[in-house]
């Protein structure tokens, strides 16, 4: 890692995260540590720490660093949780989660993206990640219940399978709304029912699958 990249990463944490209210020290440390440039195509690497989402393969995106941090902070991970991530994408968010959780199960519908992400994650030394290819809207029932669930694509409603696989007291973070503009929601399971908190306006690619967009 070059000094310039570490400086850019530190600058991102200060100007994009701390200044916008991200306060969890474990989240900030993870964002300071994980090399975002490793998860980008070569043509995008000089923009790795820009304050924006970036296009990647398979018509997907890598989320803006602030949104990654905001979604992660909402899960309140202390290192003991098993987390389900729906939408592996490049694997950058997966790496952040792996820094903070005991175990991450991540599902991606594009096999090429999943394989590429798994390769980079393995090269970086992560051993607490299980990467799967499939319909993420159906979750991973054989590994449920999950302490937290993160969905990195937009749905019109929370997929019932994912909420069912969330343990009591757990948090599911998901962008909800239309195909173009959504609201990021943290949905807690309280007495078996959802209690939602709105976190931010956002814009994600659609969640495709049996319990998502078709």
Strands in 166-177's sheet, in edge-to-edge order, are: 129-133, 103-108, 82-86, 146-151, 166-177, 182-190, 193-202
Query: Residue 61, CB half-sphere, CA atoms under 13 Å: how many?
Result: 16
Chain position carrying tokens 């219940």: 145
Dihedral angle, C-alpha 16, 22, 24, 28, nearest 10 °: -10
Q: Catalytic one among 63, 114, 196, 200?
A: 63
Dihedral angle, C-alpha 108, 17, 29, 98, nearest 10 °: -10
DSSP 122-181: HHTT--SEEEEES-GGG--GGG--EEEEEE-SBBSS--HHHHHTEEEEEEEEEEEE-SS-
Q: Is 200 an annotated catalytic residue?
A: no
Q: Which residues belong to the active site?
A: 63
């Amino acid at each position: 890692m070059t000094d310039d990249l570490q400086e850019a990463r530190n600058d991102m944490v200060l100007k994009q995260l701390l200044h916008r209210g991200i306060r969890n020290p474990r989240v900030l440390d993870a964002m300071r540590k994980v090399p975002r440039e490793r998860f980008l195509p070569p043509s995008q690497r000089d923009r790795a720490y820009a304050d924006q989402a970036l296009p990647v393969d398979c018509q997907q995106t890598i989320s803006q660093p602030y949104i990654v941090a905001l979604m992660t902070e909402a899960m309140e991970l202390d290192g003991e949780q098993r987390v389900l991530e729906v939408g592996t994408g490049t694997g950058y968010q997966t790496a952040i989660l792996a820094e903070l959780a005991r175990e991450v199960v991540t599902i991606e519908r594009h096999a090429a993206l999943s394989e590429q992400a798994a390769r980079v994650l393995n090269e970086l030394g992560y051993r607490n990640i299980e990467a799967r290819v499939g319909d993420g809207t159906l979750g991973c029932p054989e590994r449920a219940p999950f302490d937290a669930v993160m969905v990195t694509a937009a749905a019109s409603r929370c997929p019932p399978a994912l909420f069912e696989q969330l343990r009591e007291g757990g948090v599911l973070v998901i962008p909800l709304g239309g195909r173009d503009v959504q609201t990021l929601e943290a949905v807690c399971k309280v007495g078996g029912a959802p209690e939602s908190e709105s976190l931010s306006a956002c814009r994600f690619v659609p969640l495709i699958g049996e319990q998502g967009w078709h």
